[in-house]
Structure 1
Amino acid sequence: MSSAPGIVAIALVTLATLAIGTWGLRFSRTTSDFFVASRSVNPRLNATAIGGEYLSAASFLGVAGLVLTFGADMLWYPIGWTAGYLVLLVLVAAPLRRSGAYTLPDFAEARLGSRGVRAVCSLLVVAIGWLYLLPQFQGAGLTLRSAIGAPVWLGPLIVGLVVLINVTAGGMRSITFVQAFQYWLKLTALLLPLMVLLVAWAGDGAPGSRVVGEAASGWSVPLADGGGQGLYLTYSLIVATFLGTMGLPHVVVRFYTNPDGRAARRTTLVVLALLGAFYLLPTAYGALGRVYAPGLASSGRSDVLVLELPRLVVPGPLGEVLTALVTAGAFAAFLSTSSGLAIAVAGVLTQDVTGRPYGERRLGGVPAFRLAAVVAVLVPVLVALAIPNLGVARAVGLAFAVAASTFCPLLLLGIWWSRLTDAGAIAGLIAGGVGSGFAVGWALAPVSASGWAGVLLEQPAAWSVPLAVATMVGVSLLTPGRIPPHTRRLMVRLHTPEIVELDRG
């Protein structure tokens, strides 16, 4: 196996990322540029950047591996990850932008007037961000090992270094251009090889009939046929993916970069189209992998299917070139998602650890942000090196479960229910965070559980989300005296379209 094309591909992606990020630095002049791009990103550019940021290692590598191993049941992952933006569009996007907040803790404090709620939200943002960063670095290690035979620890170090350079150089303003570029790179990196693979598959002649049969047999049986446990896993996965999107810190911060609520809605619509187009591709890789690479599933290497398939289907120089292309796309996936997460986590650390608010000052708060970015990246890199065998898609699924169990109830009730109190919010965040967090700890620990205990811990969203909602509502109803006095005024602001305010003005 020649590693030269893979090395060239990774080098080109890295250089292009650094070059675009450096170019974007020209536009970063104020603290607001660094954190929310001065709220001036147009919907199409913002949507493409969100697509580049959102389509992580789990999307690029994990979906194909899941389809290869478990079949059509795993299509709930891409469906849920896409449909989550529909929920976000209908219920959250515009009001969240109208709140004027910079981060989720900002929104929580503005809505409930409580530093305690803010502190809990800050801890959760950092925890979710680190949990989501972990599979990005792990995926980078898998990619380098598969593409060029590098040691698995090299990937996290390279991605972490490149992300730090870009994030600390230009912040959100420059990362927006980088992530927009990386979306189209990822789409191209999957689409072009897939077209060649499909031509090769169609040219198999008589074996082609066998290919169709093998790809279809046994992979479309619903998971629910496995009994009550299978049905639970299906619905819990749906809850986590549909509701977890709105609680991901790197997703939510993107809506603060829109000029207004209307632009936030338009951004979300474009994102839905971009994600829908992308997720068709890894699914096709998974189906082809059931024919050409079934051994990857049995050997526990399903996460590298996208990287290995071109060589297996098209041996020779063409296969090496196609492998280099998908390697470039995978590396872009790690860089773009890691950059967004690093900004989200560093922003919260800057505000709540150093005590420096964002504001519209010149670059006075940027040194603290840069130091926070180092911490935001270094911790998950070290964890990725210490725990290299946690599945990419599984880690991301757990991050969605934690987000769905904490920030989703807070946002929905905070935006749509005026009786929410700070005591109710804190109690619900703790209940959902501890419940889903226990499942995360169990997944990271070197132990396992069987029966219903293992199923409930494998996918906790079906019980942790209702627990969080019930706790928030119940405690809020018991503490009506803690409803903030400014609630009615803020609720009007959240739900009043900008056009109405302009007409009134």
Structure 2
Amino acid sequence: MNAGTSLAAIAVVVLSTVLIAVHGLRLSRTTGDFYVASRTVRPWWNASAIGGEYLSAASFLGIAGLIVVSGQDALWFPIGYTAGYLMLLLFVAAPLRRSGAYTLPDFAQTRLGSRVARLVTSVLVVVVGWLYIVPQLHGAALTLGITTGLPGWLGAGLVMTVVCLTVLAGGMRSITFVQAFQFWIKLGALAVPTVFMLLQLGVAGRSPTGNGLAFDLPQAAIGTSGIYGTISLIVALLFGTLGLPHVLVRFYTNPDGPSARRTTAIVLGLLSVFYLFPTVLGVLGRVHLPELATAGNADATVLLLPARIVGGTAGNLLTAVVIGGAFAAFMSTTSGLVVSLAGVMSQDLFGGTVRGFRYSTVLASVIPLLLALGTNTLALAGAIGSVFAFTASTLCPLLLLGIWWRGLTAAGAVAGMLAGAAGCAVSMLAASLLPGLEGFARDLAVQPAAWTVPLAFLVTVVVSLSTAGQSPRTTTAVMARLHAPERVGAAPPRR
């Protein structure tokens, strides 16, 4: 693998990102530009940007790696990632846009009229964002280390530096241009090498599946075994998507509720097309790189396949394409997370000004970088799955019940979020600190969503019913705003 070609590919993606961000700076002037792109992003452009930020290191590298290790069991990840957007389309997209909020904590305060609920939501959004950023930086370190031999920390530092600068340049409007561009880079960076490798195998008369060998190789279970593990994973992915802060903030940028629904429908199509390619690459990896399943670096499958199957100069060029797409994945997802975290921090710590947004951007960038440099993991998709479980157990109940149940109270929302967070924290600590756990006890710790999500919803409902007299007087008006079509309901407040 040619290090110079790899570095050139990274440089092209970084330079393109910076140039597009500079273009966004010319268009970003107001507070609304920095927080929600003045709510003027059209569905196709917004859908591309959502695809850019949602398709993270776990999607670009981790899915193929999981298929190499776990075979068809790993297909639940792309299925869950995509189906989660169907949940968004059905239950969240249009009402969230009509709320008129800039951030998820804004929604919590508008719906519940409580500063405490807003504060708890803000803390959880920041925790989720930081936990989600760290695997992106691990992916950058892995990619740079494997393809160039340079220290991995340079990859993490490069991604975070570029992201911080682009967000500082123009906020949400700038990042929208960057992420939309990077989605199509990522799609091409997987599609082109996949097609070339399949053609190479076809010309050579070789079966892409190794005459069925890909389906016959031994496979390890993902985290846990049995029906419980599968159900828990699906719950985490379906409900976790509903609470991802960097995804939710995108709906605030649409002009109206119908455009938010159209955006979500387009995203479903884009995700379905994208996930075809890491799935095919995972199957190819099981045949041509089976040693990665036991070597502990299966996440490198997508990076190593072109050289193994095609080889020579063509293989190096295809690898460079993949590397460029990988860094686009790391930067687009991280930038979406940083801009959403900066919006939350700025609102609560710096008065919601443009200057406060920029201060928050630096804070939102430095801390996850330090966490990434101090930790090490290669299980990218599994790490993201844990974040989905945490999000599904904390922010999802607030969002779903806040939109669809007028009986939700601030006390109930706070109690539910804390119960879900505590359940996930206990399970994660047990899984890491008690390696001797076996059987169903380990299953509960490794895949907690199947019990922490129902726990969070149950606590939220019970506490809300017991504090029914504390519902804010504005509940009826807010619920009408969330559900009445724009031409009938009151227009969302503008800031």
What are the equivalent positions in structure 2 for 1:442-461 lying under 5 Å apart? 442=430, 449-461=437-449
Matched, 1:435 2:423: yes
1:187-234 CA-partner distances (Å, limit 9, x unpaired) = 0000010011111222343x538712211215799x69x9x9421110
Give me the whole-angstrom Cα distance separating, in 2, the residues matched to 1:22 and 1:349.
Answer: 24
1:209–1:468 distance in 2 versus 1, CA, 3 Å: closer
Deviation at 1:453, TM superposition (A): 2.5
Matched, 1:500 2:469: no
Matched, 1:489 2:477: yes
TM-score by structure 2 length?
A: 0.96
Give me the whole-angstrom Cα distance separating, in 1, the residues matched to 2:490 and 2:132.
Answer: 40
Deviation at 1:443, TM superposition (A): 5.8
Name the stretch that deviates more: 40-49 or 370-379: 370-379
1:141–1:95 distance in 2 versus 1, CA, 3 Å: same
The answer to whether the Cα contact below 8 Å between 1:390 and 1:444 also exists between their aligned partners in 2 is no
Give me the whole-angstrom Cα distance separating, in 2, the residues matched to 1:298 and 1:53.
Answer: 30
Q: How many residues align?
A: 491
Please name the residue that 1:248 is paired with.
Answer: 244
> Which of the residues 286, 291, 298 maps onto 1:290?
286
Please name the residue that 1:362 is paired with.
Answer: none
Give me the whole-angstrom Cα distance separating, in 2, the residues matched to 1:480 and 1:180.
Answer: 44
Give me the whole-angstrom Cα distance separating, in 1, the residues matched to 2:149 and 2:337.
Answer: 28
Please name the residue that 2:398 is paired with.
Answer: 410
Give me the whole-angstrom Cα distance separating, in 2, the residues matched to 1:371 and 1:439.
Answer: 34
1:148-200 CA-partner distances (Å, limit 9, x unpaired) = 11111111100010001000111000110000000000000000100111112
Give me the whole-angstrom Cα distance separating, in 1, the residues matched to 2:334 and 2:119.
Answer: 23
Give me the whole-angstrom Cα distance separating, in 2, the residues matched to 1:121 and 1:271.
Answer: 26
What are the equivalent positions in structure 2 for 1:56-67 lying under 5 Å apart? 56-67=56-67
Give me the whole-angstrom Cα distance separating, in 2, the residues matched to 1:350 and 1:491.
Answer: 27
1:367-411 CA-partner distances (Å, limit 9, x unpaired) = 221111111111111111111225211211111111111111111
TM-score by structure 1 length?
A: 0.94
Please name the residue that 2:98 is paired with.
Answer: 98
Give me the whole-angstrom Cα distance separating, in 2, the residues matched to 1:446 and 1:169.
Answer: 45
Please name the residue that 2:214 is paired with.
Answer: 215
SS of 2:51's partner is helix
Matched, 1:475 2:463: yes
Give me the whole-angstrom Cα distance separating, in 2, the residues matched to 1:210 and 1:131.
Answer: 36
Matched, 1:310 2:306: yes
Please name the residue that 2:386 is paired with.
Answer: 398
Please name the residue that 1:369 is paired with.
Answer: 357
Give me the whole-angstrom Cα distance separating, in 2, the residues matched to 1:447 and 1:387.
Answer: 18
SS of 1:259's partner is coil
Please name the residue that 1:135 is paired with.
Answer: 135
Give me the whole-angstrom Cα distance separating, in 1, the residues matched to 2:208 and 2:469.
Answer: 70
Give me the whole-angstrom Cα distance separating, in 1, the residues matched to 2:204 and 2:218.
Answer: 22
Give me the whole-angstrom Cα distance separating, in 1, the residues matched to 2:472 and 2:184.
Answer: 45
> Which of the residues 222, 234, 237 maps onto 2:233?
237
Deviation at 1:440, TM superposition (A): 3.9
Task: Give 2:130's aligned amino acid.
Answer: W
Give me the whole-angstrom Cα distance separating, in 2, the residues matched to 1:443 and 1:379.
Answer: 24
The answer to whether the Cα contact below 8 Å between 1:39 and 1:259 also exists between their aligned partners in 2 is yes
The answer to whether the Cα contact below 8 Å between 1:134 and 1:395 also exists between their aligned partners in 2 is no
What are the equivalent positions in structure 2 for 1:318-337 lying under 5 Å apart? 318-337=314-333
Deviation at 1:259, TM superposition (A): 0.6
Task: Give 1:89's aligned amino acid.
Answer: L
> Which of the residues 369, 378, 395 maps onto 1:381?
369
Give me the whole-angstrom Cα distance separating, in 2, the residues matched to 1:445 and 1:6.
Answer: 39
1:209–1:177 distance in 2 versus 1, CA, 3 Å: closer
1:428-483 CA-partner distances (Å, limit 9, x unpaired) = 00001111133344566695633222221211110000000000000111111111
Identity rate, percent: 55
Task: Give 1:6's aligned amino acid.
Answer: S
Give me the whole-angstrom Cα distance separating, in 2, the residues matched to 1:372 and 1:34.
Answer: 12
Name the stretch that deviates more: 388-397 or 439-448: 439-448
Give me the whole-angstrom Cα distance separating, in 2, the residues matched to 1:442 and 1:371.
Answer: 36
Give me the whole-angstrom Cα distance separating, in 2, the residues matched to 1:216 and 1:229.
Answer: 18
Give me the whole-angstrom Cα distance separating, in 2, the residues matched to 1:29 and 1:445.
Answer: 49
Task: Give 1:208's aligned amino acid.
Answer: S
Across the aligned residues of Structure 1 and Structure 2, the Cα RMSD in angstroms comes to 1.9
1:341-372 CA-partner distances (Å, limit 9, x unpaired) = 00111111111123x13xxxxxxx12221111
> Which of the residues 265, 268, 285 maps onto 1:269?
265
1:99-158 CA-partner distances (Å, limit 9, x unpaired) = 101111100111011001001000000000000000000000001011111111111100
Please name the residue that 1:55 is paired with.
Answer: 55
Give me the whole-angstrom Cα distance separating, in 2, the residues matched to 1:448 and 1:152.
Answer: 32
SS of 1:41's partner is coil
1:116–1:11 distance in 2 versus 1, CA, 3 Å: same
The answer to whether the Cα contact below 8 Å between 1:244 and 1:404 also exists between their aligned partners in 2 is yes
Please name the residue that 1:168 is paired with.
Answer: 168
Deviation at 1:500, TM superposition (A): 2.8
Give me the whole-angstrom Cα distance separating, in 2, the residues matched to 1:141 and 1:445.
Answer: 26
Please name the residue that 2:11 is paired with.
Answer: 11
The answer to whether the Cα contact below 8 Å between 1:194 and 1:281 also exists between their aligned partners in 2 is yes
The answer to whether the Cα contact below 8 Å between 1:442 and 1:448 also exists between their aligned partners in 2 is no
The answer to whether the Cα contact below 8 Å between 2:306 and 2:316 also exists between their aligned partners in 1 is yes
Provide structure 2 residue ranges, at least 5 long, that are not aligned to the other structure: none
Task: Give 1:259's aligned amino acid.
Answer: P
Give me the whole-angstrom Cα distance separating, in 1, the residues matched to 2:145 and 2:169.
Answer: 29
Name the stretch that deviates more: 381-390 or 118-127: 381-390
Task: Give 2:129's aligned amino acid.
Answer: G
1:416–1:488 distance in 2 versus 1, CA, 3 Å: same
SS of 2:207's partner is helix
1:106–1:444 distance in 2 versus 1, CA, 3 Å: farther
1:319–1:493 distance in 2 versus 1, CA, 3 Å: same
Give me the whole-angstrom Cα distance separating, in 1, the residues matched to 2:9 and 2:77.
Answer: 28
